[in-house]
Chains A and B, each alone.
Chain A
């Protein structure tokens, strides 16, 4: 029973416009994501540079 619940409806099975649900500006704004990935990149560069300086200091 309840076979259909086991079949995951896949987006591509549905015509694109019928499935479209993005409503307004706010929902699709990715400002925070942008800021978050920049912070992430900054963290990686800082740690990398830290150990590189240690390498140089021990040369």
Chain B
């Protein structure tokens, strides 16, 4: 019924997916996006609006939306929820002071009905830093094990070295593909 079905059908044909990257400011969203796309990551500025990248990966067409995470911009996040297949939540693992903020923002997103069908990938980013909290630490602080409403997975990564970016995205694609390309 409705547009969503039509969109799903269209996507189905093109094997297209829409991924939304969110997280607090300075988490490394834009850096992850650029690194994944093989671009220079040393000149990235704070994101004032948003970036979209369309990439081909493993025969999928990925529309990746990277939206600025500064506090005044967070109220705009909801503009991007519609027809999201995968939510990528990026965490600055070294920013212990704001992990509580980070948990609250994530929890609020998980209650959004327009994101109800999306798969959740949490990137515990900046694992290259000595002060970074481990992937398991982040999992505990964000209380990920309490999430029963979404398929989720946490991956420790570094946008600077590129470590684990691919394995995270691959998990996400597999999960989404299993859901939207094989059900009907």
Physical interaction between A and B? no
